């Protein structure tokens, strides 16, 4: 028996277990950079059981931790798929050989935009970033947005000013879209963030972003 055959048997075992201990989840597969949970992206529902990276189911999830293990039929999943059910919305971060199915819990829905670049020479109008000129890169993506560092003082530094918060953002990769420093994130709460660093990993995007002052 080779590793591929063994892995398929492991997933078949997960599928059987999920039928007994799981609950039904909606299953979505993005087909473009916009609205991954659109009705047209929905596949067949599937049973899924989640645990807080503890296959013994002996501990709950904790604050500041977005990752879970899934017990589900891995043969039906692809990296970047979403599932929606009793535990919320999660995306598949990794389907590694003979290892647990690695999921990320999503607490926000985000869109990613790129500020317009000023073109031309000579006297120009206002060249700063405005929402009207921002280019959408990915829209309507469920993502994990959790607090990062404690933040930092703004440049003005008035006595009553609070620190500007930093956030860690996790979301799937979409082929053809490369995120970079200074890109903009907006979320379903109306908050805006400026990307400070964009790291593309085999688990998807890991971004650090500063919340923009409004």
In total, the chain counts a number of residues equal to 214
Instruction: Give the integer Cα–Cα distance in Å for 206 and 214.
Output: 24
Residue 2 reports pLDDT greater than 70: yes
Residue 111 has, within 13 A of its CA and on its CB side, a CA count of 16
Q: Which of 205, 178, 186, 183 is nearest to 196 (CA)?
A: 183
Q: Structural domains in the chain?
A: 3-106 (no CATH), 108-211 (2.40.10.370)
Average pLDDT over residues 113-141: 74
Supply the pLDDT for residue 137.
Answer: 98
Query: Residue 23, Cα to own-chain centre: how many angstroms?
Result: 22
Q: Which two tokens stand for residue 22?
A: 């799981």
Instruction: Give the integer Cα–Cα distance in Å for 88 and 23.
Output: 12
**Region of residue 53 (phi > 0: left; psi between -120 and 50: alpha; otherwise: beta):** left
Contact 52, 62 (CB under 8 A): yes
Q: Which two tokens stand for residue 31?
A: 């087909």
Contact 40, 29 (CB under 8 A): no
Q: Which of 133, 174, 135, 130 is nearest to 35 (CA)?
A: 174
Contact 210, 197 (CB under 8 A): no
pTM over 0.75: yes
Q: How far from 127 is each of 112, 120, 181, CA to CA, in Å?
A: 20, 11, 18
Mean pLDDT of the chain: 90
pLDDT 10s digits, 97-125: 999 999 999 999 999 999 986 555 555 55
Exposed e or buried b per residue across 45-78, where buried means at least 16 C-beta atoms within 10 angstroms of its C-beta: ebbbbbbeeeeeeeeebeeeebbbbbbbbbeebe
Q: Provide the pLDDT confidence category of residue 213 given band limits of 50, 70 and 90.
A: confident
Phi, psi of 156 (to 5 degrees): -75, -45
């Amino acid at each position: 028996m080779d590793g591929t055959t063994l892995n398929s048997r492991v997933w078949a075992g997960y599928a059987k277990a999920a039928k007994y201990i799981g609950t039904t989840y909606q299953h979505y597969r993005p087909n473009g950079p916009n609205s991954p949970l659109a009705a047209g992206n929905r596949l067949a529902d599937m049973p899924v059981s989640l645990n807080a990276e503890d296959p013994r189911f002996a501990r709950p999830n904790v604050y500041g931790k977005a990752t879970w293990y899934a017990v589900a039929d891995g043969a039906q999943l692809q990296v970047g798929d979403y599932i929606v059910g009793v535990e919320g919305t999660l995306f598949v971060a990794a389907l590694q050989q003979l290892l647990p199915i690695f999921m990320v819990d999503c607490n926000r829905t985000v869109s990613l935009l790129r500020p317009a670049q000023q073109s031309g020479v000579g006297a120009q109008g206002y060249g700063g970033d405005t929402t009207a000129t921002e280019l959408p890169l990915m829209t309507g993506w469920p993502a994990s947005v959790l607090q990062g560092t404690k933040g930092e003082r703004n440049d003005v530094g008035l006595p009553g000013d609070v620190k500007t918060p930093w956030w860690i953002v996790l979301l799937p990769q979409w082929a053809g879209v490369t995120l970079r420093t200074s890109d903009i994130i907006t979320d379903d709460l109306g908050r805006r963030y400026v990307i400070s660093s964009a790291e593309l990993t085999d688990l998807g995007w890991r971004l650090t972003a500063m919340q923009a002052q409004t």
